Structure formats: structure tokens, C-alpha cells
Amino acid sequence: MSGHSTWPEWVYVGVVVALLCYVGAEAWNIERIVEHVPEDAEIIKVVGQQWIWTFEHEDGTKEIGELHVEKGKAYKFEITSKDVIHSFNIHDYVVLLDAVPGRVNTVWFSPTDVGEFDIQCREYCGLIHYNMRGTLIVEDKGA
């Protein structure tokens, strides 16, 4: 418009695009790696309902509100819901996936530290959403 040079803007846009390409490629690569479920992962069925979490291990053991797992093993969660949408979240292990009625979503993780970790609901599900919490208990059977 005013007869000035436009190259600074092109350089700037070029830098922004390059940065975004890097972020996108890196995100794509990491997501590809973290989504790869190990073959020996044990399956844990997770059911969300207003306002509790229930778990069923491969051997048929059921737990409510508490989940016992072993350090170092890989686990694959099969998550669903009985009523409304919830979101199964173990923040310390970056486990986050919606529990959707009529669907089964899967995500895996492998605990590395012994101790107790919070399980919570991250999708609004009504009256007691704020207190739809549970505990992940990681034990070291080998020790």
C-alpha cells in the first residue's frame, strides 16, 4: 500500500511456518510411538458411571474406585461408560481418554513408580463430577 518493502513479513511468515512444520512433525512422530500398544499388555476394563469408576482385570477381579497394578507391567485400558460421557484420567501418567456410552476406547500405560496416584473424571458429567475420583495403587510384586 504505502510503497514499503514486504520482505520482513515474508521472512516472518516463513519462520512461523517452519516452526509449525517442526511442531507438527514431532507431534506426529511421538504420537505414533506412544500409541503403539505392547503385545503383552494386560487388559483392564474400565467402566465410568455417575459418579464412580469400576475396573475389571483380565483374571476377573473387580474393583470399585481403586485400581491395583504392578510396577513395570504394561496395561491396556478398555474404557466405556454406562450412562453419560466421562473422561478417564490418571494425570501423573498422562492417561486421558473419554468414556463414551456405546463405544470402547483403548489407551495403554506402564507404571514406573510405586505409590498412590489420583484417578479423576475430566469430562463434565453432572452433580458429583467434581468428586468422581479414584486411586491408582502401583505395587512392586518383585520386591
64 forms part of the interface with another protein (CB under 8 A): no
Shortest Å, Cβ 138 to another protein: 17
Shortest Å, Cβ 53 to another protein: 14
Cα 141 to Cα 34: distance, rounded to the nearest angstrom: 25
Q: Using the rule CB under 8 A, which residue among 57, 71, 73, 122 binds another protein? A: 122
Shortest Å, Cβ 47 to another protein: 14
127 forms part of the interface with another protein (CB under 8 A): yes
Cα 39 to Cα 16: distance, rounded to the nearest angstrom: 40
The residue ranges of DSSP E strands in 1-143, in sequence order, are: 42-49, 52-56, 62-64, 66-70, 75-81, 86-90, 95-99, 105-109, 115-121, 134-139
110 forms part of the interface with another protein (CB under 8 A): no
